[in-house]
């Protein structure tokens, strides 16, 4: 089985290396290009649709290795693969149409909801439980809770990756790190289906990164960012579904960078009284560029942050397996502290919105004043 994993990874990587240049020519031919504007960092017209290369490499790689898998898939895993492929194809289609015709945010959002509904209602894939923190039990969810929660999760994570797609290689690299984290955890849990999908996706993403890392020759576009977001949402659903020993917080930690960037973007736009879907230049990568980091440095810094979240997720998951629930509490506290401090330092919400740093500064001034009076 290990050989199949390696072959699947290599096949999808080679396919991405071969298909991406062809997709680039196709994107230019049909006019699926990205034109520079005041909000974007690139200065020349760039072909989009690169995500189509990732998608095709993944699908063809999956078709190539499926006949050689020795044991048959369980009914649940086979059902999941069908949902993954059909839902993912719908997401890629709407993303590709947006790359060519610039669809409105509302149309894309509605299409994502439709794809999520196909997964939920067509294949009965839902979040069935929620762990009770710090206890060795979990609560089964009623359908009226699990269905909207699953749809919200799929749509939310799908858009989270799309929002960080602002620099060469950023969304692809962050997605690869998150998928790599799920890969490690799937091996630890013995989930072979998730591991296989992760390796196929990793191969496709790494092959695409040869053309997408700065200076990029092609952008993944919405076809890529939406598909990778959808893939992460689905993998986390299968990877942690019905596994009581894994805390509910684990999937959130794995995709901590895109989710936190999305969260702070919503807060920022609410404070500035702007529509939630209105684009701006206040995302993590924009703020790091303003601090003086180069294009590549900014991407590598965010890779590092993503890797940090990935390590926290593995530590938390391993601790949960061994019923060390206090580790979960520590991980959450560390994560929340660094997220808030980091957001305030680089100005993710706003240059003047720094409550935690302000509190620390006031405590420091008070402590200094008290020491001088003694």
CA distance 204 to 364: 50
Distance of CA 263 to the CA centre of its chain: 13
Binding residues for Mg(2+): 162, 222
Tokens at 79, concatenated: 């059902």
Binding residues: 162, 222
How crowded is residue 215: how many other Cβ atoms within 10 Å of its Cβ?
A: 11
Annotate the chain with three-state secondary structure.
Answer: CHHHHHHHHHHHHHHHHHHHHHHHHHHHHHCCEECCCCCCCCCCCEECCHHHHHHHHHHHHHHHHHHHCCCCCCHHHHHHHHHHHHHHHHHHHHHHHHHHHCCCHHHHHHHHHHHHHHHHHHHCCCCCEEECCCCCCEEECCHHHHHHHHHHHHHHHHHHHHHCCCCCCHHHHHHHHHHHHHHHHHHHHCCHHHHHHHHHHHHHHHHHHHHHCCCCCCCCHHHHHHHHHHHHHHHHHHHHCCCCCCCCCHHHHHCHHHHHHHHHHHHHHHHCCCCCCCCCCCCHHHHHHHCCCCHHHHHHHHHHHHHHHHHHHHHHHHHHHCCCHHHHHHHHHHHHHHHHHHHHHHCCCCCCCCHHHHHHHHHHHHHHHHHHHC
Tokens at 14, concatenated: 């080679």
Tokens at 298, concatenated: 């900014």
CA distance 267 to 340: 13
CB 130 within 8 Å of CB 209 = no
How crowded is residue 318: how many other Cβ atoms within 10 Å of its Cβ?
A: 15
């Amino acid at each position: 089985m290990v050989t199949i994993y390696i072959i699947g990874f290599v096949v999808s990587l080679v396919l991405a290396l071969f298909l991406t240049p062809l997709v680039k020519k196709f994107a230019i031919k049909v006019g699926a290009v990205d034109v520079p504007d005041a909000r974007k960092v690139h200065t020349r017209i760039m072909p989009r649709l690169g995500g189509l290369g990732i998608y095709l490499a993944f699908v063809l790689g999956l078709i190539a290795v499926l006949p050689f898998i020795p044991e048959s898939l369980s009914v649940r895993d086979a059902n999941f693969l069908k949902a993954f492929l059909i839902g993912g194809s719908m997401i890629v289609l709407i993303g590709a149409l947006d790359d060519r015709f610039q669809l409105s945010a509302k149309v894309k959002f509605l299409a994502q909801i439709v794809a999520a509904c196909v997964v939920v209602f067509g294949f009965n894939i839902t979040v069935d439980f929620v762990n009770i923190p710090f206890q060795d039990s979990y609560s089964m969810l009623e359908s009226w809770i699990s269905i909207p929660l699953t749809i919200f999760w799929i749509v939310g994570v799908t858009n989270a990756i799309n929002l960080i797609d602002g620099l060469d290689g950023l969304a692809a690299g962050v997605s690869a790190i998150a998928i790599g984290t799920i890969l490690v955890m799937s091996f630890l849990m013995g989930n072979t289906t998730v591991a296989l999908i992760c390796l196929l996706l990793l191969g496709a993403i790494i092959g695409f990164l040869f053309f997408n890392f700065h200076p990029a020759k092609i952008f993944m576009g919405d076809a890529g960012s939406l598909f990778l977001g959808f893939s992460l949402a689905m993998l986390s659903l299968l990877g942690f579904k019905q596994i009581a020993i894994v805390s509910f917080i684990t999937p959130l930690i794995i995709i901590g960078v895109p989710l936190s960037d999305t969260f702070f973007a919503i807060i920022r736009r609410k404070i500035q009284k702007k529509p939630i879907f209105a684009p701006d230049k206040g995302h993590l990568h924009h703020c790091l560029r303003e601090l003086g980091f180069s294009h590549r440095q900014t991407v590598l810094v965010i890779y590092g942050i993503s890797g940090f979240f990935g390590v926290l997720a593995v530590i938390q998951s391993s601790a949960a397996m061994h019923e060390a629930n206090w580790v979960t509490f520590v991980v959450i506290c560390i994560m929340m502290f660094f997220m808030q401090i980091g957001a305030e330092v680089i100005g993710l919400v706003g240059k003047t919105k720094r409550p935690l740093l302000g509190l620390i500064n006031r405590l420091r001034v008070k402590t200094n004043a008290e020491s001088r009076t003694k």
